[in-house]
Amino acid sequence: MRLILVFLSLLWAQRMGIRFKDPVFSQIQVTKDVKYGENLSFTQAPVELFMDVYEPVGDTMARRPVIILIHAGSFLPPTLAGSAFGRVPIGTREDSGIVALCREFARRGYVAISATHRLGWNPSASTQELRAQSIIQAVWRAVQDARALVRFLRKDAATTNRFRVDPNRIVMGGSSSGAYVGLHVAYLNRPEELDNPKFKLSDGTVFVDTTAPGMDRGTGPNASSNAFEGGSGHPGYPSNIQAVLNLGGALGDTSFIQNENIPVISLHGVQDPTTPYTSGIVITAVGNLPIIEVFGSYSLTQKLIEKGNQTQLLPDFADDLPFPGLYPWQGVGFEPFGWYNNSSPAEKERARRYVDTVLWFAAPRLFKVLDLPVIEQPIASLASEIREFFDNFSHAEDAVESFSIYPNPAFSPLVSIVHQRLAIQKVELYTPIGTKLAEACLASPSLEYVWALPSELPTGLYVLLVRTEKGIAAKTWSYLH
């Protein structure tokens, strides 16, 4: 019984966490279809702009940091994006990985927003420079919309205060093309950047005509003071952001980066075929046609460091490799944290583990660069399987004392689980806060099981559950690699 009480107290002690780093809320409320702006589309038709807002239930904090996450989809409408990538859903506010991240950031105490922007360009244009012009114009429209969204939030904070956001702690980013938007909101902010020969046709015409309808200052009540702000709504409020969460995005040119003091937290699949990890020519999703050279997470982080934009991460994250604020997924391509209608259960579970990796890497770094307060709160309730373990612990006393894991700690994701008396039927691996990472059912129950755990499992403390005919047993297990 002493062993049981010690183990229970160990797990219970792990239930305290730090708001904004750990999931301290168990319930989330979602406000769908919040209109934040309007403008003219790619085809010059009027279009309204919407977002979904995720908030923790029961939160009393007056001002919460906000994270805006924008979906992938190569700036194409959802039907075309789905056809181009062969995956659905993609290119919407309902993209699985974006929704999962919004929910998890809300559980940590953020106001999280899944937003879309104006979509559309001509990937089948006859020449590379016309394709380049078309997609740069699409980026420009999206950046204008994203700035309107930031202004919407600051207007809300100054007036109705519906969403209780902290106007001085706004993060923007997203996945792939959505990350492009956050990066360009942060760093595309000087007129001369549009005058770069790289962003002109061969006859000298600039790609972005800031007097063209839908790409200009706007008119009427949406008119802004300059074209960089655009006419998508809520003029008169600042559109600056404090940080970027870049999941596989890129910048049109690293010359955009000056000392804006906007740190970027990046995670990027090194083998991403859609956006280069370093630099390279992006190609169309259909036809593999060249478009324009861009600079992915590795290259842009190099430039950020050179200009002093990552210093807020120091000294805490000086040991990040290859650079502070950058996490490369080796051997991984586009959007590993996403899953789709045709994904298998195993693929969905794998994607959820990548969601956990994003949170594990991004949450403490955003905590640092946003200078968030240390607020200790109980971690949200554990998964039902862990709660079942607590509820039925008295029935599993013998099982607990007879169950061993070798090695512990382990330096490779291969472990041997041995029970002295009872046949093992199923094994499960959880984080200490109850997120299931893996499970295995034994076709033939046995006293010993050698388990090959996921190769990308991060270093940390885990809870390993064993199910036998007598009930559930659990022990902590450490993984060091």
3-state SS of 259-316? CCCCCEEEEEECCCCCCCCCEEEEECCCCCCEEEEEECHHHHHHHHHHCCCCHHHCCC
- How buried is 158 (Cβ within 10 angstroms: 0-12 exposed, 13-18 middle, 19+ buried)? exposed
Residue 15 is predicted with a pLDDT of: 65
Q: Based on the domain organization, do 164 and 77 belong to the same domain? A: yes
Supply the DSSP symbol for 26.
S
Percent of the chain with pLDDT over 90: 69
65 or 346, higher pLDDT: 65
Q: Based on the domain organization, do 347 and 427 belong to the same domain? A: no
Q: Mean pLDDT of all residues in the chain?
A: 89
**Tens digits of per-residue pLDDT, 289-347?**
999 999 999 999 999 999 999 999 999 999 999 999 999 999 999 999 999 988 888 88
Asked if residue 393 has pLDDT above 90, the reply is no
Residue 481 is predicted with a pLDDT of: 67
CA distance 89 to 349: 17
**Tens digits of per-residue pLDDT, 153-199?**
999 999 999 999 999 999 999 999 999 999 999 999 998 999 999 99
**Tens digits of per-residue pLDDT, 412-441?**
888 999 988 889 999 999 886 677 888 999
Here the tokens at position 5 are: 């009480």
Q: Note down the domain range covering 300.
A: 20-374
Assess if residue 207 is contained within a domain: yes
Q: Based on the domain organization, do 365 and 401 belong to the same domain? A: no
CA distance 396 to 153: 52
Residue 387 is predicted with a pLDDT of: 45
Domain CATH code at residue 270? 3.40.50.1820
Q: Based on the domain organization, do 346 and 420 belong to the same domain? A: no
Q: Based on the domain organization, do 166 and 138 belong to the same domain? A: yes
Q: Based on the domain organization, do 305 and 452 belong to the same domain? A: no
Q: What is the pTM of this model?
A: 0.79
Half-sphere exposure of 9 (CA within 13 A, CB side): 6
Whose structure tokens read 């690293």? 254
- 3-class DSSP assignment, residue 439: strand
Number of other CB atoms surrounding residue 382 within 10 Å: 23
Asked if residue 395 has pLDDT above 70, the reply is no
From residue 446, give the alpha-carbon distance in Å to each of 137, 276, 453: 62, 47, 18
Domain CATH code at residue 421? 2.60.40.3080
**Which of the residue ranges 62-66, 156-160, 171-175, 444-448 would you say has the lowest mean pLDDT?**
444-448
Assess if residue 6 is contained within a domain: no
φ, ψ of residue 97 to 5 degrees: the values are -65, -40
Angle of helix 96-107 relative to helix 345-369, nearest 10 degrees, comes to 50
Asked if residue 4 has pLDDT above 70, the reply is no
CA distance 184 to 97: 22
